[in-house]
Amino acid sequence: DAGVIQSPRHEVTEMGQEVTLRCKPISGHNSLFWYRQTMMRGLELLIYFNNNVPIDDSGMPEDRFSAKMPNASFSTLKIQPSEPRDSAVYFCASRRLDTQYFGPGTRLTVL
Amino acid sequence: KQEVTQIPAALSVPEGENLVLNCSFTDSAIYNLQWFRQDPGKGLTSLLLIQSSQREQTSGRLNASLDKSSGRSTLYIAASQPGDSATYLCAVMRGSGGSNYKLTFGKGTLLTVNP
């Protein structure tokens, strides 16, 4: 089992550019989460999918952020346009029973 | 709104020492509490999960306790090793309103075990 896979691992972009983060959950897990981690705010839930359907997007900071899950094995988090305050580590996690399994994260730097 | 606090923010101990990490939460209506480990540049790894009806869970040298009424949990690490050096995060899952998925995290305790 390869675990949760995220790409890219690092992304450096300029303000105003579009950023797309990708996630492949563990096969057979039907729940997927996107989190953001910063020093100031810690880990925050952005959006939660169950069976590919967005259930809770109340953590998405603003309309510049969007997430999709077109099938059970792939999800994207898009930021358009990006801003320096979006700089953070973004984690994807999938769930089996009550345990969430985290990917290695994408470190995003917006200049 | 649930708030999770971890004290201390950082802890440095010599190898072999037993240690306790603390976690407190403001809303006792939880479904479960989980302890995670995060290594630098990596994701989180689940260590222990305690259901709201349980008092403790053990895995190897780790023991986690839960006192729901007082809003507290502790993670006890016995005979610490340099390989235990990491950030330890506590997270609680809401127990009502169909929200048995939402984890609220503390900011973690950075543990350094010195050889």
pLDDT tens-place string over residues A29-73: 999 999 999 999 999 999 999 999 999 999 998 899 999 999 999
CA angle A31, B21, B100 (to 5 degrees): 25
Statement: residue B97 has pLDDT above 60: no
pLDDT at A2: 80
Q: How many residues belong to chain B?
A: 115
Residue in B with minimal Cα distance to A38: B107
**Cβ neighbours of B101 in A, within 8 Å:** 31, 33, 48, 50, 55-56, 95
Query: Using the beta-carbon criterion (under 8 Å), do A99 and B34 form an inter-chain contact?
Result: yes
What distance, in Å, lies between the first and last C-alpha atoms of chain B? Answer: 41
Statement: residue B95 has pLDDT above 80: no
**Cβ neighbours of B102 in A, within 8 Å:** 45, 48, 56
Nearest by CB to A45, from B45, B46, B103: name it: B103
pLDDT at A109: 98
Task: Give the integer Cα–Cα distance in Å for A101 and A91.
Answer: 10
Residues contacting B51, CB < 8 A, separation 6+ = A98, B31, B32
* Averaged pLDDT for residues A16-36: 96
pLDDT at B96: 62
